[in-house]
């Protein structure tokens, strides 16, 4: 069981996945809040059944999975439904993340939080991946082929770069080449191994 947990956050396209993959390659357990959020409403889950009961059969697609585009349309402009969804998924998401961290055998573990999430009691130290806004937008555009307005809207809904950096104990600068991440991750890895030992 790992007791030392590093929270990893950053805006969309800042490089959270690029960074977490490098920790994974060092055999560090990675718990990802976005992946957990998807898996608690996967086909056949109790939570998906609760959603279907309230929102109707239409919310399930032909393969039995949650129809996400339909869900987004339905939730848009309806804060009460959004709040209800958050209230029923929060517990299962946290349980799953806690379980993943409890099962981790690595000396410390990484908890990847989507940009909107602040510090949780599970976290001992906060790591923020940082890139200039323009670079962040360019990388998201290249990755997702999204329209600039869509990317702007997502970024506008996330905490600002300054707000994220204010929460950081450690910062990874991802304004350079991907290879520049290797060295920074290695330095932090050594530091976290020491912290995990002393915690």
Beta strands 108-112 and 29-32: pairing type? Answer: parallel
From the CB of 182, what's the least distance to ligand ADP, in Å? 11
From the CB of 7, what's the least distance to ligand ADP, in Å? 14
Which residue number, 39 or 158, has a Cβ lying nearer to ligand ADP? 158
31 Cβ contact partners less than 8 Å away, ≥ 6 residues apart: 97, 100, 101, 104, 109, 110, 111, 112
Which residue number, 101 or 131, has a Cβ lying nearer to ligand ADP? 131
Regarding 18 and contact with ligand ADP (CB under 6 A), the answer is yes
From the CB of 178, what's the least distance to ligand ADP, in Å? 4
From the CB of 60, what's the least distance to ligand ADP, in Å? 28
Residue 56 DSSP SS3: coil
**Side-chain half-sphere of 177: how many Cα atoms within 13 Å?**
3
Which residue number, 17 or 47, has a Cβ lying nearer to ligand ADP? 17
Tell me the sheet residues that pair with 170. 127
Query: Given candidates 8, 16, 51, 124, which one binds ligand ADP under the rule CB under 6 A?
Result: 16
Regarding 14 and contact with ligand ADP (CB under 6 A), the answer is yes
Q: Compute the Cα dihedral for 13, 14, 17, 18 and give only its sign.
A: positive
Tell me the sheet residues that pair with 108. 4
Query: Given candidates 1, 156, 162, 177, which one binds ligand ADP under the rule CB under 6 A?
Result: 177
**Side-chain half-sphere of 83: how many Cα atoms within 13 Å?**
4
Which residue number, 13 or 107, has a Cβ lying nearer to ligand ADP? 13
64 Cβ contact partners less than 8 Å away, ≥ 6 residues apart: 43, 44
Helices in 62-132 by DSSP H: which ranges?
A: 68-75, 79-103
Query: Given candidates 4, 6, 7, 13, which one binds ligand ADP under the rule CB under 6 A?
Result: 13
Query: Given candidates 47, 124, 174, 184, which one binds ligand ADP under the rule CB under 6 A?
Result: 174
Regarding 178 and contact with ligand ADP (CB under 6 A), the answer is yes
Regarding 184 and contact with ligand ADP (CB under 6 A), the answer is no
Residue 23 CA, chain-centre distance (Å), reads: 15
Q: Would you tell me which residues interact with ligand ADP (CB under 6 A)?
A: 10, 12-18, 139, 143, 174, 176-178
């Amino acid at each position: 069981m790992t007791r030392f947990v590093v929270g990893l956050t950053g805006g969309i396209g800042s490089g959270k996945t690029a960074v977490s993959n490098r920790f994974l390659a060092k055999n560090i357990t990675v718990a990802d809040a976005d992946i957990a959020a998807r898996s608690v409403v996967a086909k056949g889950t109790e939570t998906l059944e609760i959603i279907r009961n309230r929102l109707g059969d239409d919310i399930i697609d032909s393969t039995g999975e949650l129809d996400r585009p339909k869900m987004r349309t339905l939730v848009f402009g309806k804060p009460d439904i959004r709040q209800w969804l958050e209230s029923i998924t929060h517990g299962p998401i946290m349980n799953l993340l806690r379980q993943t961290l409890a099962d981790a055998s690595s000396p410390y573990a990484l908890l990847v939080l989507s940009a909107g999430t602040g510090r949780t009691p599970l976290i001992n130290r906060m790591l923020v991946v940082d890139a200039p806004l323009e670079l962040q937008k360019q990388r998201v555009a290249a990755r997702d082929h999204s329209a600039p307005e869509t990317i702007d809207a997502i970024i506008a809904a996330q905490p600002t770069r300054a707000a994220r950096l204010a929460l950081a104990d450690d910062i990874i600068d991802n304004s350079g080449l991907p290879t520049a991440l290797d060295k920074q991750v290695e330095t932090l890895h050594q530091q976290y191994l020491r912290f995990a030992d002393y915690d």
